[in-house]
Amino acid sequence: MEKATLNDKAFDLVCDSRSQLGESPVWSEAEQVLYFVDIRGPSINRFDPATGELQRFMQSEEIGCIGLVRGGGFVAGLRSGIWRLDREGRPIAKLADNPEGIEFSRFNDGRVGPDGRFYAGTVDESRQNKAKLYRYDRDGLVPLINGLMTSNGLAFSPDGKTLYHVDSPVSKVTARDFDGTNGTVSGERVVIDIPDNPAARPDGASIDVEGCYWVAIFGASVVRRFSPEGKLMAEYPVPVKCPTMPAFGGPDMRTLFVTTAGSRRPPEEMAQFPTSGSLFAMRAPVAGVPAPLFDEDI
């Protein structure tokens, strides 16, 4: 891995949300607000950068990821399965059960793909590599990647032809050819090999308009930007130990938000990083790719 430039300008606190485990930030172009989840809250949170207002929509179980739905509301991955929720996070319908059961599995990282389908992966709490990345559409849940511990780092290239993914404990970002006509993947290859460090693992990710992959390194206090070829371009310090996932937003899509892990971290970590669990943002050098909307008709 080549040495990157450590930027003086980094992330500032924008919302003292104090999530237990903030994740899945997604920018609503229609509302000009950021939605994100607190997995262990559990809640969906709505942050308005213009006013600083934070709203929480509490959930009845752990919620790992959300996507925005065309016409309003959310598609979401919870412990029990995939759900359709209204604009305030209230359940409308359960779309699919978690096929791995709920005792040692929950949905984790996920997003709407460029094809309008929902893609979400699980975490295997029994640590037996039984987690998977799934595609959800009207045909139900279909596994795309098997044998995982913690499905993470899901992102799509700007042209919609490449799917990026990481199994966090393995620390290798893989790329696959993506066919948006039927939501299938092929041709796995490793594009980023992050040095193995049990205390610092790749977590959630986002893509900019140049095709660069931005990934939060949980435990290392940084967000890193890699070129499409896997070269480390830059790293941006975050004033907490455990950033979880970046997402682009703002009127010009050049505000980079990052969620973080918080109040259930060790006491000594919270003492050193008292704003852990809050939402941070910085001015990015390039714009991000807008979040697609879930199409219920696919």
Residue 9: per-residue pLDDT:
58
Q: Is 229 annotated as a binding residue?
A: no
pLDDT digits (tens, 9 = 90+) for 116-173: 999 999 999 999 999 999 999 999 999 999 999 999 999 999 999 999 999 999 999 9
Whole-model pTM: value is 0.96
Query: What pLDDT, on the 0 to 100 scale, is given for residue 196?
Result: 80
Q: Respond yes or no: is residue 295 known to be catalytic.
A: no
Amino acid type, 106: R
The yes or no reply on domain 5-283 and CATH 2.120.10.30 is yes
Structural domain spans, the chain: 5-283
Q: Which of 38, 109, 167, 203 is catalytic?
A: 203
Is 56 assigned a ligand-binding role in the annotation? no
Band the pLDDT of 286: cuts 50, 70, 90: very high
Residue % of the chain over a pLDDT of 90: 91
Distance CA 232, CA 54 (A): 34
The stretch 14-37 carries a mean pLDDT of 98
Rounded Cα gap, residues 243 and 278, in angstroms: 10
> Is 23 annotated as contributing to ligand binding?
yes
**What's the maximum distance between 2 C-alpha atoms anywhere in the chain?**
49
7 labelled ligand-binding: no
User: Does residue 197 have a known ligand-binding role?
Assistant: no
Best CA proximity match to 163, nearest among 176, 149, 144, 147: 176
Q: DSSP strand E in 59-126: where?
A: 63-68, 74-78, 81-85, 91-97, 105-112, 118-124
pLDDT score at 206: 99
Between CA 290 and CA 248 the distance in angstroms is 8
Q: For 182-250, list the strands marked E by DSSP.
A: 184-193, 201-207, 213-218, 222-226, 232-237, 243-249
